[in-house]
Each structure stands twice: as C-alpha cells, then as structure tokens.
Structure 1
Amino acid sequence: MFEKFSREAKLAVVGAQADAKDLGAKQIGPEHVLLGAVSNAEPDLRAVLDARDITADSLRAALAAEPPLGPDDAQALRSIGIDLDAVQASIAENFGPQAWEQAEPEAKRGVFARLLGAGHIPFTGQAKKTLELALREAIDRKDREISSTYLLLGILRGADPATTDLLGGRDAVSGLRTDIYAMLDRAA
C-alpha cells in the first residue's frame, strides 16, 4: 500500500514515527499520523488547515503537554481502591523525587539494534486503521494516489477521542471534513 502514497504522505508517515519517538511514545498512534499529515500538507490542504488555525506546532505542543496519567485515570484507579497520589508519593519517598518520570524501563532489543541505535516503533491498531481509511477515501474519490489530504480524511473518518480532542471536538472534526471535501471538489 505504501507505494500508492504521495511524496507528502510518505513524509507524513515517516514523520509520524519520528514525532512518536521525540514525544516518547511506545507506539505510533493516530495522533502522530495527524501530526505528520499536518506537517506535510499539500498547499491546498495547508490553506484549509490555516483557516482553522491547525498547525503542526500547536499539535506538537498539545501532544507534548499530555500527562501519562491524567485525572480520569486517577479517578478510574480510585474506583477500584487505588490512590494514585499515594502511589506516586510512596515512589518518590522510596526511590527519589524524579523516579515517577524515569519509571519507563529501557526497551529490550538485540545486541545489533542497541549498537546501531535502530528501533522501529510499531503502529497501534487504530493508526493502522487510519491508513486503511485513507486508502478507502482515495478509492471513493477515484484517486490513484494517497496524499496527506487522504491521510487526514482517514484520521477524521476513524477519529478516536485523542485526535478529536486535538482538533477541537466533534463539531470541529465534522467542519474540517466538510472543508476538505469542498477543497477536493473545487480541485476536481
């Protein structure tokens, strides 16, 4: 399928992996593909995104600001009898104040991968689904190539809560889809 991707779409997918690594993610999610698509948008798509104030910098900042465990996670743990604040305090007391942030174990890789610094971050199932939906969007429009526009449409079509929030909610996602389809109709 990757051979059907435009230059910009290929750069978007490669960028998604780089962004996921830079942001410390263990897997490439739809939010990373979104960041890649916005970073590598074709000029017409860039105009649509600019009109909605959607930039790679703002998405990257929002992704970097997301805490690993938020208030909803703490509430869910509290509902089963686990006090996240008490756990964090205990870890800080026993292992030092920075232990919580440094708790990620180093990935176990082969000797050659460690020597060369290589390592592929896998796509989540949802991210793979967005790539499949991008292909379907291109086929539906009878286009032979998957551009960053179709990547974005695939993301919007299968929008998960994280990407929906990054883009400003359901109404914003719906409006963006409408704007992109209008852009494609004008170009046709």
Structure 2
Amino acid sequence: MFERFTRDAREVVTHSVARAEKADADAVTEEHLLLALLDQQGTKAAFAFSALGVTDRRASVETALAEGRRRGGLSNADVEALAGFGVNVGEIVARVEEAHGPGALQASKRSKSWWSGHRPFTPAAKGVLVKSLRIATGRGDRVIGGEHLLLALTSGPGVVSEVLADHGVTYQSLERVLFPVRA
C-alpha cells in the first residue's frame, strides 16, 4: 500500500514517526499523524487547514490533544458518557496525577520495540492508513495523498477526530474544501 502514497503522504508517515521519537512515545499514534499533517506546507491538506482556519489555531489544537493525552486518551464524548454513570473523569485524573505525578495516565514510554529502535503504529494509526486507501479508492483516485490521510483522521471516533471537529474540520467540510463540486 505504501507504494501508492504520494510524496506528501509518505512525508506525513515518516514525520509522524519522527514526532513519536521526539516525544519518546512507544508507538506512532493518530495524533502524530495529525501533527505531521499540520507541519506540512504547500500540500492539499495544508490548503484545507488554511481554508478552514486551523493554521491560525494550531496552539488550540495542540492544547486539546494534550488534554486528551492527559485523560488517558478519553475523548470529550467518552468523558460525557462516563459522567452519565456518575464518573467524574476530571476528579479521577486529578487524584491519579496527585498520587503518581503529572501525565500518569498517558501511554507508557517503556516498550520492547523502543529497544529495537522501531516505533510501531498503534492499531488506530494503522486504521487511518487503511481508511485512507479506502477513501482514495472510493473517490476513484489511484494514489493516496495527505488529503486522504486527513479525511481518514476525521472519519472515526476518538480524540483526534473530536479535536478536528471542534476546530471546524469534519469529513464534510474537508470534502467541500478539497473537492468542490463544479457545475
């Protein structure tokens, strides 16, 4: 599948690995893919971010992603669902961090793969790559570009898609910006 990736899509993948390494993460996540997309300039994804006003609100995106990490990967929807059962996630996070230090609920940074120098992709990040292929194929595109990766990030549940939606980046808004219908 990687051979079908355009140059910008390949750069997203390689830069997401570099971001994971820089963050000392044990695996490449959807968040790393998004941040690598946000780093790009002159691509269709960069155009979409600019057109939807995300480029100017990058700090807000990064803050929201950090809050999701702090909650152990729970999205706001997850937090609301748990609140319906009387579970106060904010209180739990505060207590855990009080006992174990800031960021205690974030993913472990100790992994066997770290010793080998290889950063695997999480199942969710792999899912984004597979979805991008399906999206490209469904659109009749022969290659997978960064725009397909971005569309895939918006197409499922989770912190990344929720953060994007909160910043006006949905599957539908991306389609309008990236693939305008011509009369």
The answer to whether the 8 Å contact 1:42/1:148 transfers is no
Superposition CA RMSD, Å = 3.7
Read off the aligned partner of 1:63 and give its amino acid letter. L
TM norm structure 1: 0.67
Please list the CA deviations of residues 37-65 of structure 1 after superposition, one character each: whole Å capped at 9, or x if unmatched.
23235444422221212239434454345
* Partner Cα separation in structure 2 for residue 6 and residue 154 of structure 1: 15
2:157 is matched with 160
Read off the aligned partner of 2:13 and give its amino acid letter. V
Secondary structure of the 1:25 match is coil
TM norm structure 2: 0.68
Number of equivalent positions: 168
Q: 1:107 aligns with which of 101, 104, 110?
A: 110
- Which runs of no fewer than 5 residues in structure 2 stay unpaired? none
1:33 is matched with 33
Q: 1:137 aligns with which of 130, 135, 138?
A: 135
Shift of 1:167: 1.4
* Partner Cα separation in structure 2 for residue 133 and residue 102 of structure 1: 30
Bigger Cα displacement from structure 2, 122-131 vs 26-35: 26-35
* Partner Cα separation in structure 1 for residue 179 and residue 8 of structure 2: 19
The answer to whether the 8 Å contact 2:153/2:161 transfers is no
* Partner Cα separation in structure 2 for residue 132 and residue 108 of structure 1: 24
2:71 is matched with 69
Secondary structure of the 2:165 match is coil
